[in-house]
Structure 1
Amino acid sequence: IGIWYSNNTLAMNATSLDINVSETLANKTLIVTTILESPYVMRKGNYQEYQGNDQYEGFCVDMLRELADILKCSFRIKLVDDGLYGAPEPNGSWTGMVGELINRKADLAVAGFTITSEREKVIDFSKPFMTLGISILYRVHLGRKPGYFSFLDPFSPAVWLFMLLAYLAVSCVLFLAARLSPYEWYNPHPCLQGHKDMLENQYTLGNSLWFPVGGFMQQGSEIMPRALSTRCVSGVWWMFTLIIISSYTANLAAFLTVQRMEVPIESPDDLADQTNIEYGTIHGGSTMTFFMNSRYQTYQRMWNYMHSKQPSVFVKSTEEGIARVVNSKYAFLLESTMNEYYRKLNCNLTQIGGLLDTKGYGIGMPLGSPFREEITMAILHLQENNRLEILKRRWWEGGQCPKEEDHRAKGLGMENIGGIFVVLICGLIIAVFVAIMEFVWSTRCSSETDEVRPHSCPRQHHRPTPVGPHGNTPTLTPLTCCDVVWTYLLACYSTSVGV
């Protein structure tokens, strides 16, 4: 055990605890009752070609082989006759695997077999080999995948429409404020004395439309407001665009990369507060007993609903419950380990909320079984050596659903941001088209004579040209294309009304 040294110290020797196998268990063949349930016990795809235990595979089958090596015994697997875990009958008898243990038809019950106080009264259990809890399984509706124009998704169509209306409103208010305020009118040539009537306003209709665009794109503009009124309009618009751009940027990455899941319920309370989605569990299982005996108000409401809807909301097996979840509006209440297993097989399934309770799976034995201590010690030995965790990883991992890390590792493709390039190409095409139209318009106006009618090709009207003190003519600011178009529209309107 240890060595005592002269300096009054004791050195303990670390030794492994050997499992003492009793003579009644060594070289004995134990009958194991079980139930088919993935991934605990399953038939092989070609099980007809095998005999005995070789027909089966799964977590519990591998665990039995590990226990057989430790306990120096063998097992013979048989399926329970009625396909049930075990529940009490009104006459006091038990169904399923519990009934077979009580009637001594089997020595052990190995499956996803929940340890409950009610079962402990009639059979014995080993220490739990797996800890779990009740959870809710439901299917999800995946939103549309990110497309070419996913960059528009952070805002709803209504928000985009109101932003367009806000832009037009700001442009109009800016144009009117600049026209009404005397401080936006200025003399471009202040050195020319005696010609103070030569005033210009930088906020033409085109510039009033361009200035908010520069602010919205956070690029600024060469046009700076002079009057207090136009500065107020500019400041409010800049604050508006700051909030909008910040909100858009914060949500853009998620909408470009994530295919959002639509789940109508998020907790057991949400499930209990509605009746549109049915929910239930395996009939006669430990989960049904949990809700039936629970004193928690939410769980009592859920049991009252299930009891009023029976037998329609109860299923006979986990596979039947999973199929019902996939094909209808049905939430399945089952153990968290099974929830995890089926979520990795079907990407349209998800867990709602956390665990409703905490419990464990154990190996069942007849009451007063002489094998209980040896089997418990063997299970503890497997847990200490991490063998049970290795077996769980083997049977729970390898599903078809990718991990979340795989989604985060992928870069953005053209299917995510292709719409940006479409907008760029369309903008370039429009710019080239407008440039051609400006060239044609300028060429046409230059070729026309002064006798052309105003509504055919309006002249560029200026205020009287001032003459400098030395007889020279100062350079005037040329009118923009927008000013020409605006003058042309006014001329057409004046002609049509007979002015």
Structure 2
Amino acid sequence: NATFGMGAISITSEREKDVDFTLGVMTTGVNLLISKPKIMDSIFQFMEPFSLNLWMAIVGASVGVSILYFVLDYPSEERKFSARETWWFSVGTLLMRGTDFAPRPSSQRILTAGFLFFVLITVSSYTANMAAFLTTNNLEKQIQSLEELVERSDFQCGTVKDSATMNFFKTSSKPIYRKVWSKMSEGGLVSGSKEGRERVRAGGYAFIFDYMINSYSELTSCETKMVGTPFRLQEHGIAMKQGASIKSILNINLLKIKESPIMTQLQTKWWENKRKCDFIESQPTVEFGIKHMAGVFIVGAGGLVCAILFFLSKKWFVAVRTKEKSAESDTGLEETLYTTDKTMSKEDIANAVKV
């Protein structure tokens, strides 16, 4: 029984069958409302370029290398590395600080070469990713249009159920709009614009609705933003009963309002003056994981294996040479005793040497 109705009511041919409309109050369109990337303000931001499992792997590699330094140095007559020295050498190398002492055995030098390569790639990767993090360089492409939206399997989209926007996508024959309708019909429809904005703030959802309503949400909610140029331009009007006499009066007054700055003043009052957020976007960074740095660990492990093989081969060679020298020394002693004392048999001399 209302005389007329005001709101975000689009003038459509379908609605004109049931009610009358005044002249258009304002021109609007449809666009996308999505959530803004979360702002990261942790005091441990310096750790963000690498994932936790990668940090743990780096620490584990440093500890493992320090233990291997100690093992490869034992026993060594050239120079002894204590447990403290091996740990400090490993940490100093990782931090590119260096130390006052350096390994001298060949096996340790091979291990050092592999570890230095590991440190070089790790530090370079960290520096590059930290620079990208500090300059908010985002490697993940953000949604900017309907075409990009329909290609994102991790994003749902929708609009208000039984709204003019829903009917537009449902009845459109344009391929891109048909794809959007197919996507939003799979659980993307909401009961009202409030529910749509709540789903946007929850993440992973794009709300396709009236530009003016989305614009107000962007100004008053710091968690949302609009993307894309408005499309499906249309007029909003005042609805009333068919044949209502008040229609002509409203049209005359609407024309007067349009000819004056009142509409601009009202839009400034209820949109711009309600602004609570600045349009400063924070884009998420992409952290490195084990899969990005696995090759570095493989190269480091290769150096480790080479060092161990060299160490074992050296130990084997020294043991063989020592045994050969011992045998040669015993043989020489036997010959000397046999030449000096002719009364003793070779068997007696051999037994005497063994004793």
TM-score computed with the length of structure 1 as normaliser: 0.41
1:128-277 alignment, distance < 5 Å: 134-139=30-35, 142=38, 146-179=41-74, 199-252=77-130, 268=146, 274=153, 277=156
Q: CA deviation at 1:166?
A: 0.8
Please list the CA deviations of residues 75-109 of structure 1 after superposition, one character each: whole Å capped at 9, or x if unmatched.
xxxxxxxxx323444xx9535xxx424xxxx3x22
CA distance in 1 between counterparts of 2:180 and 2:236 reads: 30
CA distance in 2, matches of 1:389, 1:346: 22
1:399 maps to what in 2?
Answer: 275
Corresponding position of 2:197: 322
Residues 103-156 of structure 1: CA deviation (Å, up to 9, x unaligned)? xxx3x2213x45xxxxxxxxxxxxxxxxx6x4322346847x533434333322
Size of the alignment, in residue pairs? 262
What's the secondary structure of 2:7's corresponding residue? coil
2:121 counterpart SS class: helix
**How far, CA to CA, are the matches of 1:308 and 1:161 in structure 2?**
42
Secondary structure in 2 matching 1:155? coil
Check whether the contact 1:279–1:306 (CA below 8 A) recurs between aligned residues. yes
- Encode CA deviations 1:219-269: one digit per residue, 9 max, x unaligned: 1111234455433322322222223223333444776898x9x99988755
| Equivalent AA in structure 2 for residue 213 of structure 1 | V
Displacement of 1:284: 3.8
Residue number among 164, 174, 179 corresponding to 1:295 in the alignment: 174
**1:339 to 2:214 alignment:** yes
Query: 2:33–2:206: 8 Å Cα contact kept in structure 1?
Result: yes
Gaps (5+ residues) in structure 1? Answer: 1-32, 38-83, 115-131, 186-198, 409-499
In the TM superposition, what whole-angstrom CA distance separates every residue of 1:39-93 from its partner, at most 9, and x where no partner exists?
Answer: xxxxxxxxxxxxxxxxxxxxxxxxxxxxxxxxxxxxxxxxxxxxx323444xx95
SS of residue paired to 2:53: helix
CA RMSD of aligned residues (A): 4.9
Describe the shift of the 1:276–1:332 C-alpha distance in structure 2 as closer, same or farther (beyond 3 A). Answer: closer
Q: CA deviation at 1:344?
A: 2.1
Once the two structures are superposed, what CA deviation does each residue of 1:449-476 show, in whole Å capped at 9, x if it has no partner?
Answer: xxxxxxxxxxxxxxxxxxxxxxxxxxxx
Question: 1:159: Cα distance to partner?
Answer: 0.9
Distance 1:175 1:329, change over 3 A: closer
Matched residues in 1 for 2:160 and 2:70: separation? Answer: 68
Structure 2 CA distance, aligned partners of 1:359 and 1:306? 17
Quick one: distance in 2 between partners of 1:148 and 1:226? 41
For 2:20, the equivalent position in structure 1 comes to 100
Contact 2:35–2:224 (CA under 8 A) maintained in structure 1:
yes
Would the alpha carbon gap of residues 237 and 389 (structure 1) be closer, same or farther in structure 2, given more than 3 Å must change? farther
TM-score (norm: length of structure 2) = 0.54
Q: Percent identity?
A: 25
Displacement after TM superposition at 1:165 (Å) = 1.6
Distance 1:176 1:389, change over 3 A: farther
Tell me which of the two structures has the higher relative contact order, counting C-alpha pairs closer than 8 angstroms and 6 or more residues apart: 2
Counterpart-to-counterpart distance in 1, 2:102 and 2:186: 73
Letter in 1 for 2:172: N
